[in-house]
Structure 1
Amino acid sequence: MRALALCLILVPLPGWADDILVSSRVEAVTLFPDGAAVTRSADFELPAGTHRLILADLPRTTPLATVRVAVEGATLGSVSARRDFVLPRGAETPPEVAEAEAEVERRRTALDAAMAEISRIRAGAQGAEARAAFLGRLGQGEGAAAMGVEDLQALARMIGAETETALTDSIAARDRAAAAERGLEPLREALAEARQALAALVPEEEARAMLAITVTAADGPVEGPTEGKVTVGYTVNTARWMPVYDIRLDRAESRVMIERGALVSQETGESWTGVALGLSTARPGGQTGPSELRPLLRRISDPGEEAEASVVRGDRMRLALARGAIAAAAPPVRARATAFDGLAVHYDYPVAVDIATGADNLRLALGDLEMPADLLAEAVPERDDNAYLMASIVNGSDEIVLPSAQAMFYLDGRFVGQQPLELIPAGGKALLPFGPIDGLRLTRIVRERNEGDRGVLTKSNERSEAVRIAVENLTGETWPLRLLDWVPYSEQEDLKISWQADPAPSETDPDGRRGILEWRFELAPGATREVALSHRMVWPEGKVLD
């Protein structure tokens, strides 16, 4: 294979003397969170010599500057391209399109037949009503006045019986028509679905982009045309994927099941059928190299010189901006690496997939991960009125659970909520939430504060507070509880902070969060656990507490 990266030249085509029209299709796609790399291919046969392969079926929005071409079976020459090129692509209809069109026609015929039957039934009802009307006029004619009594009685009986029959027929026909009309709705829905399926197969606009690829085929040892393959690769920004998860907790088994999936979508203008799909967390449109670190120059000056120095610094900065010497002040967006080696994660989907352009997101299953869980109730009385059920897990698999904005949480098969999920590396720990425990009630009462709300004298350089925290178990089971609260902390030597807790916390500064206190205990049914917590802050006179 000879592959060549080409900057495409947008030129008009001079003629079609040695041109060979070939049809291409998308055979492989690698989706990124904000784009995709597309690979399409076309097989060809050509005699010895130099020819041009014409690919006239690229979407009009194809970014031609990113196109790269490779050829097997011939020598690659120049490549030219143009947009808004419409070339007849033959009268042959793809089998899947022909099948969809036939289905639309079949369902339309069924709907038309049903509507014709309704019209026939209604015509019968109208005929019966006309017969009844005629019978009514028959008894009012001049001939009836000359008839004898017996003949009139016979005529009346006949008119009554026939009129009753006609009206009965009319009512029955209208009932059948009403029932048939109710049956039209499923037929209309079926026709709409068939038309939608056909539209998903052929949504492309007529205007297309075109490539003209010059290739040279050498004389081979066997007479006959040379067979080969042309491969075209390019990137688009109208396709994407994102990881999604259904996370299920089985309390009885103390196990968590993570059902992994990927939501994929594309709006390239053509549907992808039977493509080999890869999913990557790389972001080709983002930053690919490290940011530039510039030297930091600091200076001191007398207080009177500060205003002048500020003006000078402003002039220098404006001059540097004019020269393009200063980079943008906003920090660059960085994609977080999640693979073991620090590079992007890549998934190869095991089967070929179909992704219609412009359709709703398609969800693909990526396999399930199952792991044991330690269950506990986590309580934050300073913010919440009840505790929450949490599952502590360790990712014992060799696969990474990628961060996701859409993680759905289920407790014993019942949906409890949705929230983002952070990255869980192989071997990493995570604490997963599964909803509130309404029977674990929390209270936090401020018993004393020296800011005047309880009549305690205040000092301008001192603050103190005492609170009572309580957790009450109104459920019928014992809960392992993790209680969290806080006290202020300081990094200044002059700001003195002291605190007391009864009982003492099980851990201080968990996970490096300074000032956070943690208590762990078992709470039996009907039991209440209390914690007394106080702190005091003192600083020099003349200073202000922030």
Structure 2
Amino acid sequence: MTVAVEPGAPARALGSVLESVVVYAQGAVCTRRARFTLPEDHCGELRIRVGDVPLSAYAQSLRGSVVAGPDGLRVADVRPHLEAAVVEPEDMPGLLRAVKEAEDRTGVLHARRERLNTQIQETAALRAVPAKPRRDDPYPRPAAVEPVLALADFIAERLDTLHTRVRALDDEYERAFHELVVARHRLEEASGSLRVEQTRTTGAAVLTLDMADAAGDGASADVVVDLEYQVPGARWVQQYQLRLDPAMTGGTLVMRAAVAQRTGEDWTGVRLGLSTADLDRRTDLPELRSLRIGRRQAAPAPSGWREPPSGLEELFSGYDAGMRKRREHQAYARPAAPAAEYLEEDDGMDWMGEEQARSYSGAAEAALPVSPPQMSPPPAPMAMAAPASPAQPSGVPAAYGR
């Protein structure tokens, strides 16, 4: 189909033909081809709309390419597009029209059957009503037998006629319902590409062609555009057939492929290809390791624990020297505890004996000149009642004597 496209007009739908299909392990890739006539002296972008794209096609798989046309013509953008249209009765397929006619006829017969049932119920409910007696009648009135019998005859005759119509209508309804079942069965067995919706929603692809770099002679040109897309609901299975000769000494192995699809397209007369690849698998290029030409080098040692570097102890030499000076300063500045003062305190309690107090004071005096270095000074002994502060020894600051 060839359609002339004007540069200033919006995107127009082009009739397309399914050119080829490649069936994979799951899914298929279809290629549609559209033709149109390029207007004269056109330069810039041109938008066309290729229809007949199934709704199940993946939008991210749309690809467009220019097969034939002026030099420099290319597809700049491809986007999916949805269209909705009301299908006229004369445009419906024959199978769909048969189903609609059978449904309408079955509905009419069912309505007539309901009306006959209503008439039968109303006729069967008819009853003779006797006349009410009057006050001035000296005796009861005689029963009207003849009118009651006439009403009974009328009811019986009417019911007989209605039941006869119902039986004939039931036979006609059964035939119409059978035709409806057959029509629906034929419609279900028809091709999946048959459109059966009264409001049809179709898919399309809007292609933007870039004509900025196209070098033409100003005349109109025929352009062929291919649209490629991926659809699910298709697969194929291989089949093998071994044909043996009559003597059973040899044979021929034939491989066949059974293709099944439910994509909504008719693949009749389409060039078909088969592939065992998986469309859902990633096909990124692998990262190749670099090759170095030269002498063979030893493989690097695996990462993990290794020996500490040389001179690691010297890294903390300054810290150790500072800590040593601090300990010496603390040992020099800490005075001995005045043990005699605590022994002279008398609060009515004998804390230690005389010999123990003498030995304690002697040990304290002996330990006063030399004190071993310690990390932190021990806590000073606490007295129950602190006496008057003695004179500070020479050479010791006042802050350390308190």
TM-score of the superposition, structure 2-length normalised? Answer: 0.49
Higher relative contact order (CA 8 A, sep 6+): 2
Structure showing greater Rg: 2
Q: Would you tell me which structure has more strand in proportion to its own residues?
A: 1
TM-score of the superposition, structure 1-length normalised? Answer: 0.38
